[in-house]
């Protein structure tokens, strides 16, 4: 089954916003085993949209359109799609009522325009929208399914997950199931090399690597006649990945992030952690605090951007800073040990480096970052050399520091 995506919006053609909807929908369609050969963006222009829709209808089984369902005269997606599918627009009573309620709850006045949003193509499925005034639509004509979704991601994402995904899954030729195995502490190309035989020899199930900052995610997908059968097919491949990657795998739960996995470890082993940051300057603590509930384990963190602060807050000896410099394994270790002492925590993860663009030397170039993790008396220290912009170097440093923190906890609790 082939699917094609058309995003409608002048703001995309002007580059005002990044098209995150396209990546979201494409990933979901891949999970469903649908083949997507084309994505397009057009503006709010009836002629061009109609032409594109007619072309799409010739070549694809499912057409997903996002955007252009708003209340203004410019918003033409529904009108154009209904025309191409040969459907009349009629008012949907429940849609009208929901718009009324939505606006009343927000004390917003309803204008005559708003009722346009309650019009739906006859015989279509209406996807009610608790997060906005534009309902989604699914239209079929026996040959093609056309799915209309509102543009704002906070409306589109839940509507897709709750209403469109099950619709597509049911209509798919087979049941598709997938699992995500997430790795940290290994680069994308090393990870790929280790499983090239699994990637290349694959037909069903398939293994697909997704590179993230400091992480690699491997999606396992199987097609079968039932969900049970699909997961049964995935199992031996997952086992094989566990054998090859061991503790580099931090989760097989698609919702879990690296910081969440670390929080789970801290909680289970009743450990506390603190942070001591120089070049990352708060971003590492910021990522850990992404996890709701981490206050049990992380009480405080230190941003020690100056030498003075490293001495004052972490007790790094002036001598260490003078002899080895702020960017050195010695300073990283003194920061880690000092941070744990100051916060009275079991662990402290410390980062010091040169994020650039200035401040590099031949011996200590931009991108050189030392990190050390103090863990109940032991120190785990790492040297990293990154390339890229200041913000990239800082982002990668945070990812590596989380990986080092996880490693220290695993060794402690092994």
When the beta carbons of 39 and 381 are compared against its own copies, the nearer one is 39
When the beta carbons of 332 and 355 are compared against its own copies, the nearer one is 355
When the beta carbons of 145 and 257 are compared against its own copies, the nearer one is 257
- In whole angstroms, the minimum distance from the beta carbon of 154 to its own copies comes to 7
Cβ proximity of 284 and 402 under 8 Å = yes
- In whole angstroms, the minimum distance from the beta carbon of 279 to its own copies comes to 8
When the beta carbons of 45 and 381 are compared against its own copies, the nearer one is 45
Beta bridge partners of 221: 178, 206
When the beta carbons of 96 and 169 are compared against its own copies, the nearer one is 169
Using CB atoms within 10 Å of the CB of residue 1, give its burial: 0 to 12 exposed, 13 to 18 middle, 19+ buried.
middle
Q: How far apart are CA 176 and CA 194, in angstroms?
A: 26
Q: How far apart are CA 91 and CA 393, in angstroms?
A: 54
Residue closest to 78 by CA, chosen among 117, 131, 36, 43: 117
- In whole angstroms, the minimum distance from the beta carbon of 323 to its own copies comes to 20
- In whole angstroms, the minimum distance from the beta carbon of 92 to its own copies comes to 26
Lookup: tokens for 183: 């790795």
When the beta carbons of 27 and 228 are compared against its own copies, the nearer one is 27
Cβ proximity of 94 and 36 under 8 Å = no
- In whole angstroms, the minimum distance from the beta carbon of 90 to its own copies comes to 31
Residue closest to 92 by CA, chosen among 125, 131, 49, 64: 125
Torsion angle of C-alpha atoms 357, 363, 368, 374, degrees rounded to 10: -140
Residue 406: helix, strand or coil by DSSP?
A: helix
Q: How far apart are CA 108 and CA 102, in angstroms?
A: 9
When the beta carbons of 142 and 293 are compared against its own copies, the nearer one is 293
Cβ proximity of 122 and 139 under 8 Å = no
- In whole angstroms, the minimum distance from the beta carbon of 385 to its own copies comes to 13
- In whole angstroms, the minimum distance from the beta carbon of 312 to its own copies comes to 7
When the beta carbons of 72 and 306 are compared against its own copies, the nearer one is 306
Residue closest to 250 by CA, chosen among 296, 193, 186, 206: 186
Task: Please count the CA atoms within 13 angstroms of the CA of 411 that sit on its side-chain side.
Answer: 15
- In whole angstroms, the minimum distance from the beta carbon of 298 to its own copies comes to 6
Cβ proximity of 175 and 249 under 8 Å = no
- In whole angstroms, the minimum distance from the beta carbon of 213 to its own copies comes to 12
When the beta carbons of 123 and 359 are compared against its own copies, the nearer one is 359
Cβ proximity of 149 and 160 under 8 Å = yes
């Amino acid at each position: 089954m082939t699917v094609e995506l058309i995003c409608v919006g002048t703001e995309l053609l002007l580059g005002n916003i990044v098209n995150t909807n396209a990546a979201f929908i494409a990933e979901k369609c891949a999970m469903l085993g649908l083949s997507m050969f084309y994505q397009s963006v057009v503006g709010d222009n009836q002629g061009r949209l109609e032409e594109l829709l007619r072309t799409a209808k010739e070549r694809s089984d499912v057409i997903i359109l996002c955007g252009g369902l708003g209340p203004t005269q410019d918003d033409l997606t529904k009108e154009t799609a209904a025309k191409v599918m040969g459907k009349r627009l009629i008012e949907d009573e429940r849609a009208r009522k929901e718009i009324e309620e939505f606006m009343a709850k927000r004390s917003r006045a309803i204008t005559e325009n708003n009722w346009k949003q309650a019009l739906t193509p006859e015989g279509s499925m209406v996807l009610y929208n608790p997060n906005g005034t534009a309902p989604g639509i699914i239209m079929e004509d026996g040959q093609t399914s056309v799915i209309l979704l509102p543009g704002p991601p906070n409306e589109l994402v839940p509507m897709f997950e709750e209403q469109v995904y099950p619709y597509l899954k049911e209509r798919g030729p087979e049941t598709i199931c997938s699992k995500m195995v997430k790795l940290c502490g290994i680069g994308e190309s090393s990870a790929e090399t280790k499983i090239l035989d699994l990637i290349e020899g694959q037909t069903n199930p398939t293994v697909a690597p997704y590179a993230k900052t400091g992480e690699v995610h491997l999606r396992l997908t199987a097609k079968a006649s039932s969900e049970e059968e699909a997961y049964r097919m995935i199992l031996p491949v997952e086992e094989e990945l566990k054998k090859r990657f061991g503790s580099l795998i931090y989760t097989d739960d698609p919702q879990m992030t690296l910081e969440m996995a670390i929080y789970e470890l801290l909680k289970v082993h009743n450990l506390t952690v603190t942070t001591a940051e120089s070049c990352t300057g708060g971003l590492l603590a910021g990522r850990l605090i992404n996890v709701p509930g981490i206050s049990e384990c992380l009480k405080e963190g230190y941003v020690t951007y100056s030498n003075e602060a490293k001495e004052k807050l972490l007790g790094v000896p002036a001598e260490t800073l003078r002899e080895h410099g702020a960017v050195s394994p010695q300073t990283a270790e003194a920061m880690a040990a000092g941070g744990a002492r100051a916060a009275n925590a079991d662990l402290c993860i410390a980062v010091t480096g040169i994020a650039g663009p200035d401040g590099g030397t031949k011996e200590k170039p931009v991108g050189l970052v030392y990190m050390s993790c103090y863990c109940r008396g032991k120190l785990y220290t790492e040297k990293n050399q990154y390339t890229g912009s200041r913000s990239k170097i800082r982002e990668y440093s945070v990812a590596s520091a989380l990986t080092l923190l996880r490693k220290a906890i695993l060794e402690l609790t092994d």
